Amino acid sequence: MPRILYLVHNLSDPAVARRLAMLRLGGAEVEIAGFRRADAPLADLPAETVVELDITHDARMLQRLLATLKARYGVKRWAKVLARPDVIIARNLEMLAVAEGLLSLWDEPPALVYECLDIHRLMLRQDRLGRGMRAVEQRLMQKANLLITSSPAFLERYFDEQGAPPALLIENKVFAPDHEAVGRNAALDGVEGPVQLGWFGALRCRKSLAALDGVSRALRGKLEVTLRGRPALTEFEDFHVTVEAAPHVSFGGAYRYPDDLPAIYSEVHLVWAIDFFEEGQNSAWLLPNRIYEGCLNGAVAIALAGTETAAFIERHGIGVVIPDIEQQTLVELFGGMTPERLRGLAEAVAAVGKRAFRCEAEECVALVSRLAGVGGIKLQTEMAA
């Protein structure tokens, strides 16, 4: 059983708890250390040991840098409670810097894995700051044995140019080992009424909100838009005022993952999988959670041409790809969503095996097996073979 130390920049991030659960389900022992966001309580994490390094703040890069340096050069103090791991997983660049300080604590350094699931816009700047950030990342990656990322486009468009180590692709599939039930698209049952569109998850794209408000007004009730999740209020002029003033857009608040997924996606026919938050860069390259959540529960994804999301749904022969989000394009799209077309689209999604969208236990075992191999650990199943 490999022993893993997981370094994270936000202990309260639900995605961190999911990754921990995946590692444990796969057979690993896990300890975790990281920062906690100032506005979030410490999460109940399924780990043998949890070390809180410091409290950090969103959008305060200097403060986070100072906290990272403090943790990096204070490893002898806070790492005393940790057993020597076989593998250190550093979730994002700041934790990769902290991991570098840990490697020298043990006579035999653990293997190092860099987990990067988003390419921050600072890393893509073409000025001195961007070049400096990439240089730091390239230097730190030289000590990494493996890169974990979530989209092929991150490799093709970024990491392959940065001298990254060998990569392991782990998609953002729904991880819900105790929840077998999934949703069903109402179009399969011939339910009539307005076309129902859901935009769920991280709501941070002002262009999308404006476009969906505009097209739903133009269609005069033939399209109803439901928003669920956590809006990034700093990205909108006034999110709540805008939604309140939109006659065919409603906001249902946050939802529980994975408990609420079947219910909220069963209430919509289509899922909006378009995001211009980091247009042409991270937003075009990522594979968002909402396509896996939506498709698993029967919703039909709408993606923008030229993005990795569009490539994903096209590979599976499902969904709708549009060239832009101009009002005329959207009016034609949603205005032409007859019950027959919706049913055909929903049937295509339902025909795809759930493994394409849901993380199964075997994938967790395979992940831990790969990490064990990187750490030079032979699992019992391998020794028996």
Note down pLDDT in tens along the chain; length 385 residues. 899 999 999 998 889 999 999 999 999 999 999 998 877 776 678 778 888 998 887 767 788 889 999 999 999 999 999 999 999 999 999 999 999 999 999 989 999 999 999 998 889 999 999 999 999 999 999 999 999 999 999 999 999 999 999 999 999 999 999 888 999 999 999 878 999 999 999 999 999 999 999 999 999 999 999 999 999 888 899 999 999 999 999 999 999 999 999 999 999 999 999 999 877 788 899 999 999 999 999 999 999 999 999 999 999 999 999 999 999 999 999 999 999 999 999 999 999 999 999 999 999 999 999 999 999 887 665 544 4
CA distance 379 to 372: 7
pLDDT of residue 286: 95
| pTM for the predicted model, two decimal places | 0.92
CA distance 290 to 201: 7
CA distance 270 to 197: 5
Structure tokens at 339: 């019950």
Could you tell me how many residues make up the chain?
385
pLDDT of residue 61: 77
3-class SS letters over 215-255: HHHHCCCCEEEEEEEEECHHHCCCHHHHHHHCCCEEECCCC
The partner residues of 198 in beta bridges, in order of sequence, read: 226, 271
pLDDT of residue 50: 86
pLDDT of residue 42: 66
- Going from N- to C-terminal start, the domains of the chain cover 3-173+360-384, 186-356
**Sheet with 300-304, edge to edge strand ranges:** 249-251, 223-231, 195-203, 270-272, 300-304, 320-322
177, with CB counted inside 10 A (0-12, 13-18, 19+), is: middle
CATH superfamily entry for domain 186-356: Glycogen Phosphorylase B; (3.40.50.2000)
Backbone φ and ψ for 21, nearest 5 degrees, come out as -65, -40
CA distance 119 to 98: 19
Q: Is-contact 167 280, C-beta < 8 A?
A: no
pLDDT of residue 43: 66
Domains 3-173+360-384 and 186-356 share a fold: yes
Long-range contacts of 239-242 (CB under 8 A, 24+ apart): 239/203, 239/209, 242/209, 242/213
The single-letter DSSP state of residue 45 is: -
Backbone φ and ψ for 63, nearest 5 degrees, come out as -60, -40
CA distance 69 to 98: 8
pLDDT of residue 383: 41
Structure tokens at 279: 């247009």
| Domain made up of 3-173+360-384: CATH architecture | 3-Layer(aba) Sandwich (3.40)
CA distance 331 to 214: 9
* Of 9, 48, 11, the residue nearest 30 (C-alpha): 48
CA distance 253 to 255: 7
pLDDT of residue 59: 66
3-state SS assignment for residue 303: strand
pLDDT of residue 377: 85
CA distance 183 to 260: 10
